[in-house]
Amino acid sequence: MMLIFLLLLFFPLSLFSQDLPDEEFIFSEEEGISVTGTMQTSQQMAIIDREEIERHGAADLATLLQETLNLNIVRYGAYGNRAGISLRGFDSKRVAFLVDGVPVNSTLDGKFDIEQIDLNSIERIEVIYGGSDSKYNVSGALGGVINIVTVKKQKQGLRLGGSVTNTSAMPGEYRGRGGETQAPHWEDLLDTQNYSLSAAYGGIAAGGSALSLTANVFANRADNHFLFTDYAEKTRRKDNNEVWDTGAGASLVWELPDLTKLLATSNFYYGDKNFPTSGFSGNFGNQQDVSARQNIMLDAPAFRDDLAAEVSLSWNFNRRDYAAPASAPSVDTISRHDQHSLNVINRWSWYLTPSPRTEGSQGEGSPPYAVEQLTLRSGVDYCFINLDSTEIGNRDRHDGGVYLTAEYKPVKSFMIAPSIKAAFSSTLGSDGAATVTAIPKLGLLWNVTDSLALKNNYFRSFKFPDFEELYWSGGGFGNPDLHPEDGWGADLGAEWRVTKFMKLESVFYTQWTKDSIHWYSKNGIWQPENVGEAIFFGLENRLKLEFPVDWGHIRKIAPSLSYQYLLSYLLCYGYTFASDKRIPYNPEHTVGGSLDICWDTGSILISGHYESLRYHDTANLTALKSYFLLNAAVNQKIKENFTAFGIVRNILNTSYESFYDYPMPGITITLGLRANFDIKRGD
């Protein structure tokens, strides 16, 4: 490991998660859709495909990202509760979330409700680490980008699928709120159920063009009753945390003449959720969520062979109705927020081909073309947001930007990628003036050999304040004079395929941020200020092995190990480096590992996740103890159309908190059945 670290000090970095072609257009049969752009990005990138999603059997996106990529998550309980992820030390509101290449972070609070995403509808997930993304060129990506792809070109024929699962929380005796001993609730063995149905069709439309259609629907019921140990070492049972939700989605991929493609998606979600207050309190609030997303995208070769373009138009609607607990009289009884957003995105790629030269003009055997290759990528994005809120009022805003990226290869193995985006937002500040800023980035990629690649990035990170921070008036007051959050960062890393069966990735990064927005109490009144300044130093290492074997029915053994070191310094509230204060909810050490054993008709996946000590507050006075989670998932195909699966999570029954004073479940067991039918297949 020390050898790798020394290598990073002397070479630019490179780190990509799997072998991919240099260019990927709007979709491919195997990968699903992706906006036009290079897959050989200079940034650290990871991909979770459909097969991996199914084999983990996670109930939600937060759990999946923790188990597959070893990301840190912060959540307030079991299924359906508020959940967020941390990417390079930055929380969810400072990570840009995309669905099919379209930004979906809420302008209300900057976050994205990842618990609303149905994993059964996802084809793949792309995670891009670091600020100032130049693949999708979206704003607000201080920690990175997570793109959730839901569309895929279908093979010819009709396919139907579905699944049903039940998750059991282990019952047992516990202490009630009056101190009395309560008998086990055996109904907890039927605590949570998930149902999903899907259909996919691939065929030929009128005129001979290819057509792909998909549709899915899901429903969840979760009581979220589980035993936990409180601070007095007494066993309690969580209640008042019931969740019901449902959703549906549909997509269309239509291949038109002349390589033009039309893609359309539509999604709907409804959830009714009880959110208990902290600890073992009997008070709880209720939240009802309604959201709808509609997106249409056109991908075309433009006016000439060396140009590619895409344009998308999206409309998002989100409604949040929240009824506060009776114990919170200072908060309005009913809080409603309706948000409409209209996104228009136009991206261009210009593949500048080299000029031909005379065969052999540079000597015998020289290529007929110059080695220089230049690709220009540009685009514009615009978003109109309207918010109607009981605490904020009726507000409008215009966000967007224009960018230009050049990818220049002086030699085939080396790429230089400078990029700049001019981002703007309207009506910020008490004077209502618009804000425009330039966000530069420089990326370097060097494929040293077929087995060793190096990468290097330097970037500025930038994020505009959200509506809640600017204008909130319930239980606190927003601040219309806030400045955008700003910072600079760099990363260095390497990917080394040591042998055909072993792959090692290592990346070192640092990032400094200032004017970070945080709420704090001033004379008893909560208000946000640009008080945050911090610096991060991190090191990530991943080792993946994959051994094909022929041991009876066993065909593959694939162990993996990852380690993340994050040293953060809080440099505000009068703190300096000498104060040695950590950013809340950022563990210094995160370790993950897995053992994947596959046989002819199934697999077993054992995974572990460890997080060291974390702090709840900026003064580092309240600590959350370290914890280790051990999980196991088994998938077994039954005949041709059915797969049975079982997952045991938190096998060691670890008592822990992801967020302060909000306990997490102990051991749970999930049993399920997945069905897939190929009704009709074309020639």
Q: Examine the pLDDT at 244 and tell me if it is beyond 50.
A: yes
Spatial contact of 268 and 291, defined as CB atoms under 8 Å apart: yes
- CA neighbor of 227 nearest in space, from 219, 237, 218, 214: 237
Angle 600-606-608 from CA coordinates, rounded to 5°: 160
pLDDT-based confidence at residue 53 (cuts at 50, 70, 90): very high
Tokens representing 536?
């991060």
Instruction: Please give the Cα distance from 276 to 346 (Å, whole number).
Output: 43
pLDDT score of 639: 85
pLDDT-based confidence at residue 280 (cuts at 50, 70, 90): confident
Tell me phi and psi for residue 119, to 5 degrees. -65, -25
Task: List, in order, residues 6 or more apart from 373 with CB less than 8 Å away.
Answer: 352, 354, 408, 409, 412
pLDDT score of 183: 95
**β-pair type (433-447, 452-463):** antiparallel
Q: Which residue has the higher pLDDT, 305 or 584?
A: 584
Instruction: Please give the Cα distance from 548 to 556 (Å, whole number).
Output: 5
pLDDT-based confidence at residue 247 (cuts at 50, 70, 90): very high
Tokens representing 250?
């549909």
Q: Is 577 helix (H, G, I), strand (E, B) or coil?
A: helix
Percent helix, strand, coil in the chain, to 5, is 5, 60, 35
pLDDT tens-digit readout, 131-161: 877 788 888 889 999 999 998 888 889 999 9
CATH superfamily of the 2-680 domain: TonB-dependent receptor, beta-barrel domain (2.40.170.20)
Angle 66-68-74 from CA coordinates, rounded to 5°: 10
Task: List, in order, residues 6 or more apart from 399 with CB less than 8 Å away.
Answer: 107, 139, 382, 383, 385, 423, 424, 425, 426, 464
Rounded to an integer, the average pLDDT of 41-54 is 90
Instruction: Please give the Cα distance from 174 to 187 (Å, whole number).
Output: 15
* Averaged confidence pLDDT in the chain: 86
Instruction: Please give the Cα distance from 473 to 261 (Å, whole number).
Output: 46
- CA neighbor of 424 nearest in space, from 406, 401, 455: 401
Spatial contact of 229 and 236, defined as CB atoms under 8 Å apart: yes
E strands present in 76-191: 83-86, 95-99, 102-103, 124-129, 144-149, 157-169, 174-175, 181-182
pLDDT tens-digit readout, 426-479: 866 555 667 889 999 999 999 999 999 999 999 999 999 999 999 998 777 889
Q: Examine the pLDDT at 270 and tell me if it is beyond 80.
A: yes
Angle 494-500-502 from CA coordinates, rounded to 5°: 55
**β-pair type (614-615, 623-624):** antiparallel
Query: What single-letter amino acid sits at 5?
Result: F
Q: Which residue's entry shows tokens 């290097």?
A: 456
- CA neighbor of 147 nearest in space, from 35, 66, 260, 256: 35
CA 601 vs CA 285, 604, 639, 643, 677: distances in Å: 46, 11, 9, 9, 17
Q: Examine the pLDDT at 302 and tell me if it is beyond 90.
A: no
- CA neighbor of 266 nearest in space, from 335, 307, 213, 310: 213
Cβ atoms < 10 Å from Cβ of 123: 21
Tokens representing 307?
């140009």
pLDDT score of 429: 57
pLDDT-based confidence at residue 2 (cuts at 50, 70, 90): very low
Q: Examine the pLDDT at 1 and tell me if it is beyond 50.
A: no
Tokens representing 153?
């070109």
pLDDT score of 303: 64
Rounded to an integer, the average pLDDT of 292-301 is 89
Longest Cα–Cα distance of the chain, Å, equals: 93
pTM of structure = 0.90
CA 310 vs CA 223, 307, 401: distances in Å: 44, 10, 16
Tokens representing 511?
């990032």
Q: What DSSP letter does each residue of 37-48 carry, written as one string?
A: EESS-SS-EEEE
Give residue limits of the domains in the chain: 2-680
Spatial contact of 170 and 227, defined as CB atoms under 8 Å apart: yes
Q: Examine the pLDDT at 683 and tell me if it is beyond 50.
A: no
Instruction: Please give the Cα distance from 198 to 522 (Å, whole number).
Output: 52
Report CA torsion sign: 72, 339, 274, 331.
Answer: positive
Q: Which residue has the higher pLDDT, 443 or 22?
A: 443
8-state DSSP, 442: E
Q: Length of the chain in residues, anyone?
A: 683
8-state DSSP, 234: -
Average the pLDDT over each of 10-24, 63-77, 202-216 and give the range with the smallest value.
10-24
Spatial contact of 284 and 325, defined as CB atoms under 8 Å apart: yes
Rounded to an integer, the average pLDDT of 498-507 is 93
- Tell the burial category of 113 from Cβ atoms under 10 Å away from its Cβ (0-12, 13-18, 19+): buried
pLDDT tens-digit readout, 583-593: 999 999 999 99
Q: Examine the pLDDT at 399 and tell me if it is beyond 90.
A: yes
Q: Which residue's entry shows tokens 């138009």?
A: 313
pLDDT score of 193: 97
* Whole-number CA gyration radius for the chain: 25
pLDDT tens-digit readout, 61-116: 999 999 999 999 999 888 988 899 999 999 999 999 999 989 999 988 988 988 88
Query: What single-letter amino acid sits at 179?
Result: G
